[in-house]
């Protein structure tokens, strides 16, 4: 996984057909996505449950690009090794998930994965001030985590701008998660984000039997984001 700040579209399989993850991953990659975003929820840190490391391991062979695992679980540390073994390229933990995010990020890198830290909408950018030299990705939640299809929270755009300036030249991705579509993508791309997670806005209108809409949706988000970068 080499680093660059080009726009990357990461469909969230939270909006895919849960009975068909393997084929869904293959379909979105064939339709031009850059990363595959995998949302793990525990019904405790967030009010919804999805799946765990076994499912990640099962879908790994169907992903050729980057497997980006977003852990919405608490505690995190007892499960890091299992997600790394499942083949996660990036493992992201929430700063709010426990008292020891610094230790968690050390453990993620120690397990051989890239380390990501996620911030809920109510958490300030400054919460990652002392973590910048130990992360590969900062995920700015633009909805309250737990469900797909929620409305983008506009106050987070300023947080993205602030994080972009805090990061400076460090090779750290800024990822946006929640409510990303062709109308909101330009706002965060212009503010400095490079990885755009999108669930409902990618999967709407398509299926594994009819994957062309996935491609159209991915291209529309990418074009909107790249357009905002050029205009800036
Ligand atoms: C929210 C998840 C997101 C979600 C995004 O808790 O972390 O990845 O699936 O879904 P959309 O793009 O529909 O807001
Ligand atoms: Zn997510």
Residue whose CA lies nearest to ligand 1 atom number 10: 148
User: Catalytic residue at 17?
Assistant: no
- pLDDT tens-digit map of 53-76: 999 999 999 999 999 999 999 999
User: Catalytic residue at 77?
Assistant: no
Mean pLDDT value across the chain: 98
Closest-CA residue to 228 (of 198, 200, 195, 187): 187
Ligand 1 atom with minimal separation from the 41 CA: 6
Instruction: Give the binding-site residues of ligand 1, using a 6 Å CB cut-off.
Output: 12, 14-15, 37, 39, 70, 143, 145-146, 148-150, 177-180, 197-201
Q: Identify the structural domains of the chain with CATH numbers, from first to last.
A: 8-231 (3.20.20.70)
Task: Give the E-state strand segments of the chain in sequence order.
Answer: 8-11, 35-41, 66-72, 90-94, 114-119, 137-141, 173-177, 195-198
CA 110 – CA 84 distance, rounded (Å): 10
Instruction: Band the pLDDT of 232: cuts 50, 70, 90.
Output: confident
Pocket test for ligand 1, best of 143, 154, 175, 182 (most atoms within 8 A of CB): 143
Q: Are 60 and 38 in contact (CB under 8 A)?
A: no
Query: Which pLDDT value is given to residue 1?
Result: 85
Query: Which pLDDT value is given to residue 95?
Result: 98
Q: Are 91 and 80 in contact (CB under 8 A)?
A: yes
CA 63 – CA 88 distance, rounded (Å): 10
CA 70 – CA 11 distance, rounded (Å): 12
Query: Which pLDDT value is given to residue 210?
Result: 98
Ligand 1 atom with minimal separation from the 200 CA: 13
Residue whose CA lies nearest to ligand 1 atom number 1: 145
Q: Which residues is 195 bridged to in the sheet?
A: 8, 175
Structure tokens at 102: 């610094």
Query: Which pLDDT value is given to residue 229?
Result: 93
Neighbours of 214 (CB within 10 A): 26
- pLDDT tens-digit map of 109-166: 999 999 999 999 999 999 999 999 999 999 999 999 999 999 999 999 999 999 999 9
Query: Which pLDDT value is given to residue 206?
Result: 98
Instruction: Band the pLDDT of 89: cuts 50, 70, 90.
Output: very high
Proportion of the chain above pLDDT 90, given as a percent: 98
Question: For the chain, what is the largest distance between any 2 Cα atoms, rounded to a whole number of angstroms?
Answer: 47
Proportion of the chain above pLDDT 70, given as a percent: 100
Ligand 1 atom with minimal separation from the 179 CA: 14
What's the distance, CA 200 to chain centroid? Answer: 14
CA 172 – CA 125 distance, rounded (Å): 14
Report pTM. 0.98
Q: Which residues is 117 bridged to in the sheet?
A: 93, 138
- From the CA of 13, which ligand is nearest? 1
CA-to-CA dists, residue 215 to 15, 21, 162, 198, angstroms: 15, 17, 32, 13
Residues contacting 6, CB < 8 A, separation 6+: 194
- CA geometry: angle at 9 spanning 6 and 13, to 5°? 155
pLDDT beyond 90 at 200: yes
- pLDDT tens-digit map of 161-183: 999 999 999 999 999 999 999 99
């Amino acid at each position: 996984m080499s680093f660059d700040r080009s726009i990357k579209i990461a469909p969230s399989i939270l909006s895919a057909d849960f009975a068909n993850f393997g084929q869904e991953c293959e379909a979105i990659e064939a339709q031009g996505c850059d990363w595959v975003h995998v949302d793990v929820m525990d019904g405790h840190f967030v009010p919804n449950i999805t799946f765990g490391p076994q499912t990640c391991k099962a879908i790994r062979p169907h992903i050729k690009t980057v497997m980006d695992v977003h852990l919405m679980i608490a505690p995190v540390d007892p499960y890091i090794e299992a997600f790394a073994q499942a083949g996660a390229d990036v493992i992201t933990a929430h700063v709010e998930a426990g008292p020891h995010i610094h230790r968690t990020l050390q453990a993620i890198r120690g397990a051989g994965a890239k380390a990501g830290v996620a911030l809920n909408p109510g958490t300030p950018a400054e919460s990652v001030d002392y973590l910048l030299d130990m992360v590969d990705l900062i995920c700015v939640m633009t909805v309250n985590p737990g469900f797909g299809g929620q409305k983008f929270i506009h106050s987070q755009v300023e947080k993205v701008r602030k994080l972009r300036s805090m990061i400076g030249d460090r090779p750290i991705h800024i990822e946006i998660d929640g409510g990303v579509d062709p109308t909101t993508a330009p706002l965060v791309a212009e503010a400095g984000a490079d990885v755009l997670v999108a669930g409902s806005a990618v999967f709407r209108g398509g299926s594994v039997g009819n994957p062309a809409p996935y491609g159209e949706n991915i291209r529309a988000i990418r074009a909107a984001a790249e357009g905002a970068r050029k205009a800036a």
